[in-house]
Structure formats: structure tokens, C-alpha cells
Structure 1
């Protein structure tokens, strides 16, 4: 599955769960992704983590999809990377 399709499906799920904002970051945001890269998203706002992750598990893709919940991130270097390289999806 192409990254554009993964983003589209994750976006649909996040909208249905009333996520405030969704960013793509990591190698897909910086253009350095390889065939082994996972897909990293930052989720803003309160959301049921379990519901989100269960819904995304149903997406038929070989890529691992990771979520980072902005309000819970404590690593300042990770926050800096997100601010510098993150791409807002919506």
C-alpha cells in the first residue's frame, strides 16, 4: 500500500475519533523513508488510544504504524524533531 493511501485511511479514522490535529513525522516526513520504514504520526488532542490503534490495525499494510500522543511526549529532542520536521496532515 502506498504511503498516500495509508495517510488517507489514518486521517479518516482520526477524524471519526475527533482527533484535533494529525501530523506525519519521521522518515516519511523528511523524505528519507526506505522500504523498511515505519510510518510515524503525532496525534493532538484527547483521543481513545485503544480505539485508534485497534482501528488502524485493520488497515491492510505491511508497514508498522506508530502513534505519538503530543500531550504525553516528554522527550524534548523528540518534540524538537516533531516541530522541525513534522508535516501537518490536518
Structure 2
């Protein structure tokens, strides 16, 4: 999703799709999204990230179905970091 003048419905729609990509097979799929890079200058950054966090929080927990389930490896979590150029990155 490129920065622009998006409606709330568009922001929510894209955030839900990113959350779905991340949570495919509980995030243990090699093609699951692992990071979202958002421009620090995007006026709608905070609204988009709020929709993304809400979409991730609303997803029901998936059962652990990988070998990591028996090793005690941590489950994926959402965290946000600021890159050296000031962009905010939500890494899941």
C-alpha cells in the first residue's frame, strides 16, 4: 500500500489483508509477511497502523502446529521499530 489519500475503508481493508498474510499458518509459513515498512512522512501512517494492530489483535489464536510448539519457541508477536531514516516498521 503506497502512501496516499486513502479512505478509512481502504486503510482497514489493506490492514486486514496484511494481517491475514502474516497469520497464515500462525506466521510459520515461509511466505508469510514478516515486516511492514511505513513512510514516516505519510499523513495516514498512524491510522493505518491502528487498523493493522486491530486486525492482528482481532484474529483468534491459532493452534501451534509446528515443531516449535514442542520446543517452547516463542510465538510471533507484533512490535514496532523506527529505522535509521525515521520510517516506522511494524515487524511481526
Per the TM superposition, whether the score is higher than 0.5 is no
Q: TM (normalized to structure 2)?
A: 0.29
Higher strand share: 1
From the CA coordinates, give the structure whose radius of gyration is larger. Answer: 2
Q: TM (normalized to structure 1)?
A: 0.29
